[in-house]
Amino acid sequence: MKRYSVFAIAREALRYHTGWERAWRSPQPKKEYDAIIVGAGGHGLATAYYLGKNHGITNVAIIEKGWLGGGNTGRNTTIIRSNYLQDSSAAIYEKARSLYETMSQDLNYNVMFSPRGVMMLAQTHHEVRGYLRTAHANKLQGVETEFITPQRVKELCPILNIDGPRYPVLGALWQPRGGTGRHDAVAWGYARACSAMGMDIIQQCEVKGVRSENGVVKGVETTKGYIGCKKLGIVVAGHSGQVADMAGFRLPVEAVALQALVSEPIKPCMDVVVMANTVHGYMSQSDKGEMVIGGGTDGFNNYTQRGSFHHIEETLRALIETFPMISRLKMLRQWGGIVDMTGDRSPIISKTPLGNCFINCGWGTGGFKAIPGSGWAMADLMAKGEPGPLAAEFDMWRFKEGRFIDESVAAGVAH
């Protein structure tokens, strides 16, 4: 793999850009691998990357039914933050956020991580109390956040209307090192690095069945034939229930649609990310100038990657009091992704009833920010067969045992 650098750009500029190589290979599957990861989204690719980088396991295939990064990883609104309430959540999201800080250098790929600051508005007294509590928890967890006044909110984001008659801004939970990143680049950067380590990324190949004997996985049936493996990692987000079903177990997960939309591009007007959870909406401005807007999930089981139009209307209606300027904006594009929601709105990184099969899912509406931390923890679990400290509490049996990691109070909304 040739390194990307300023010298490479200069060199290629002098020879009509004929020397750029493909970022990753497109190989045919081998008969067997030490590990197979199903799903080439951010979490699957990051898992493979850290299997190679941290554990020296490189005889790995990542199998993807569509194109890599074409699932939720390429459909999200890219908010990165780690201001969670529960200790186990804060630990893994902060690990991920800190890995984002150096990801471009680590992968030699510009993922455009932009720590522009994330604020979560408090628009009811209940939220003020909630965020004060989270700010205190974050202090103890070593996550840098602060509860700020409405005046400071207005300074940081002048287009906000803080005196709304219905939902005045009473303060905000501010994480100055939160922000956004380029979602495709995260998938592409990991893919390029995995391919360079000799891993096979097999696209347009759907896993149709899981072959196991005596509680041990032998391999997977795919649209490109049977592929054997010593270890299997299932990292398929919205389709986790289906693939778990092939492996013979049921997950406490439901698939629903989550939508987002962007406006026409306008001049820079907002350089922070704002989330307004009471009204179920959030917004940031992309480098192209579009206002990137998201809301809550649609309310019924859905695998179609498209949501209901009226949810978009609801999101915009809710945001207009807080951002009056968007009332005149034209919205350009809208899309949906299928998110995997668990009962406590926290993810699952877990062993399964099959000895050598592991699952990573349940990131729901908020897993882009977690990609590097989740991949790190999942690689650890797959390499050692036992979870490390980051993953320990996220096992799938917590629902049976009543050990919930209840973030739904603090983060029940999309983000």
Partner 1 sequence: MLLIECPYCGVKAEETELSPGYEAHLKRFGPGSTDEEFEAYMFARKNPKGVHFERWRHAYGCGKWFLAARCTATLEVFGTYPAQVGEPPADIIEKIKARRPDWKGYK
Ligand X SMILES: Cc1cc2nc3c(=O)[nH]c(=O)nc-3n(C[C@H](O)[C@H](O)[C@H](O)COP(=O)(O)OP(=O)(O)OC[C@H]3O[C@@H](n4cnc5c(N)ncnc54)[C@H](O)[C@@H]3O)c2cc1C
- Interacting residues toward partner 1 by CB under 8 A: 239, 241-242, 250-255, 299-304, 308-310, 342-343, 399-401
Nearest distance from C-beta of residue 365 to ligand X, angstroms: 5
Does position 294 interact with ligand X (CB under 6 A)? The reply is: yes
Query: Contact with ligand X (CB under 6 A): which of 229, 339, 357, 390?
Result: 339
The site that binds ligand X (CB under 6 A) totals a number of residues, namely: 41
Angle at 307 between CA 41 and CA 413, to 5 degrees: 70
Q: Is the dihedral of CA 99, 105, 107, 112 positive or negative?
A: positive
Instruction: Give 63's strand partners.
Output: 38, 202
Query: Which candidate, 230, 250, 229, places its Cα nearest to that of 241?
Result: 250
Q: Using CB under 6 A, which residues numbered 63 to 82 contact ligand X?
A: 63-66, 70-73, 75-79
Q: Which amino acid is at 8?
A: A
Q: Using CB under 6 A, which residues numbered 232 to 271 contact ligand X?
A: 235-237, 239, 243, 258-260
Nearest distance from C-beta of residue 243 to partner 1, angstroms: 11
With CB under 5 to 8 Å by kind, the binding choice for 252 among partner 1, ligand X, none is: partner 1
Structure tokens at 134: 């989270």
C-alpha distance from residue 144 to each of 63, 89, 409 (Å): 37, 15, 20
With CB under 5 to 8 Å by kind, the binding choice for 76 among ligand X, partner 1, none is: ligand X
Nearest distance from C-beta of residue 187 to ligand X, angstroms: 7
Query: Contact with ligand X (CB under 6 A): which of 92, 138, 365, 376?
Result: 365
- In total, the chain counts a number of residues equal to 415
Cβ(34)–Cβ(59) under 8 Å? yes
With CB under 5 to 8 Å by kind, the binding choice for 63 among partner 1, ligand X, none is: ligand X
CB atoms within 10 A of CB 43: 33
Query: Contact with ligand X (CB under 6 A): which of 179, 189, 219, 337?
Result: 337
Please name the residues in contact with 407: beta carbons below 8 A apart, sequence gap of 6 or more.
84, 85, 86, 89, 344, 345, 346
Q: Residue numbers of the site for ligand X (CB under 6 A)?
A: 38-44, 63-66, 70-73, 75-79, 206-207, 235-237, 239, 243, 258-260, 294, 337, 339, 363, 365-369, 414-415
